[in-house]
Amino acid sequence: MSVPDTGSFGDFVARAHQAGRLVVQPRMGVSDPGAMRTGLVATSRAAATAVGTITLDSYTRMGDNANARAALAAGVELNGYPIVAHDVTTTRAVLDGIVGPGFPVQIRHGSPCPEPIVSALIDAGLHATEGGPVSYCLPYSRMPLADSIPNWARSCDLLAEVRATGAEPHVESFGGCMMGQLCPPGLLVALSVLECLFFRQHGIRSVSLSYAQQTNPDQDMEALLALRRLAAQWLPDIDWHIVVYTYMGVYPRTPDGATRLLEEAARLAVRAGAARLIVKTVAEGYRIPTFAENIAALETAALAADRCITIAGDVVDTGIHAEAGALIEAVLALGPDLGKSLATAFRRGYLDVPYCLHPDNAGRARSYLDSAGRLQWASIGSMPIRGVVGPTGSTKLTAAGLLSSLSYVERTYDNASLEHEYRAATAAGQVPTPPPRSGDEPGSTTDDRDPDPGDRFPAARQSA
């Protein structure tokens, strides 16, 4: 079946997916309009099937547009593009001649109060964004769900009106990325489906369901296949695709380790039948990436995807599909208004995100990494999944264990990189001193860096 060429974000991804190409996407946002345009042009010219991103700044995310305008007036560089503070003429000039059917652009923000953002992106001629009433509330704000949910309902209603222009608006759920790490896959899958059901209830007919690469490739594959099955079951009447996020936790510091993790994410996306991948760069472990580093990441991921065989293979069923399905059905059983049902589900603890400190989160669920690097439940609190999860509570995660779990992926990929370098040097006749393994430095018990420096503050600045 052919896909219409309307310039819509979802249509572009669908056409690429039908042609066997993985769509890759950077995190990119700067406050200067000229620099933002330069970043979009560079993305559009990458040797990859790419879509553009304009990521917004912290002030705009939280509705503090007065401070965003003051920063612009003072010449202060922000950590993203303040689309509400910039006048619409400026934003249209950023997009002019770049955005179109062959290169759609998505607005990424992180706001629990997105109405002004949605209005601004519509005025600029755009119609794709991401987030959700839960996923853009619990991790990044203290706003009550009772406020975030109606904010997102009105924003979806507003975005749905774009359909009258001939374009199909698109909303991506961030639900599969809650907290970035240490959230077992069943809950991530359920939240992504539930938010997309919420979008559909408010007029959105083109959605994407997210899932963040976690700590075990086999578990990730099972989760993504479960997500596909549940999306087909619960969203049969609208267009949808799956987007994979390259690992969102503490990132490898070595260039080789970072590259290997990105390539693994690309192969995971292809083998699981996902249509789009959000990339990370070699700089994620220690600073905000440049435009050039973002383009290199796009091209690295695209090449890894092109070389990948699109066969999922045998996947052991450990119960992720059943767990996610039980959570979805428990929430839907609370009533026909999904917004109210989501609020009730969190109030009763039917949905409970581990290690999330938001006041509306029950905070009784706990998770841990087992010896194979799989995310498991240590405690499920009041979530209605005891029949599919089985006994819990045998593992008590200590503070040291939590810190070790948070750096598991970083250690795994960096140590493999350091070992590879050591063996290569030895084979060349050199006698190198074995480098310290990641996490083994004297006194190293934790990592004081932001565990997700590029995900919520993802400005991609140009090199000096």
CA distance linking residue 171 with residue 191, whole number of Å: 14
Q: What span, in angstroms and rounded, lies between the C-alpha atoms of 179 and 139?
A: 6
What is the tally of structural domains in the chain? 1
CA-nearest of 309, 346, 313 to 327 is 346
Q: Which structural domain, as residue segments, surrounds residue 424?
A: 1-464
pLDDT at 453: 30
CB atoms within 10 A of CB 403: 15
Q: Where is 431: in which H helix or E strand?
A: none
- pLDDT of 6 reads 54
Rounded to whole angstroms, how far apart are CA atoms 299 and 313? 26
Alpha helices of 127-202 — where are they, by DSSP H? 145-160, 185-201
Per-10-residue mean pLDDT, the chain, length 464 = 64 96 96 98 98 97 96 96 98 96 95 97 97 93 96 98 94 90 93 98 98 94 97 98 93 89 96 97 86 97 92 84 98 98 98 95 93 92 91 67 72 67 59 50 28 33 31
User: How does strand 366-369 pair with strand 23-25?
Assistant: unpaired
List, in order, residues 6 or more apart from 189 with CB less than 8 Å away.
176, 211, 223, 226, 227, 230, 320, 321, 324
pLDDT at 231: 98
User: Length of the chain in residues, anyone?
Assistant: 464
Instruction: Compute the distance between CA of residue 464 and CA of residue 262 in angstroms, rounded to an integer.
Output: 25
CB 153 within 8 A of CB 133: yes
CA distance 336 to 200: 13
Note the pLDDT of residue 91.
Answer: 98
- Model pLDDT, residue 459: 32
Task: Supply the pTM of this predicted model.
Answer: 0.88
DSSP symbol at 444: -
CATH number, domain with residue 205: 3.20.20.240
Place of tokens 């007065």: 66
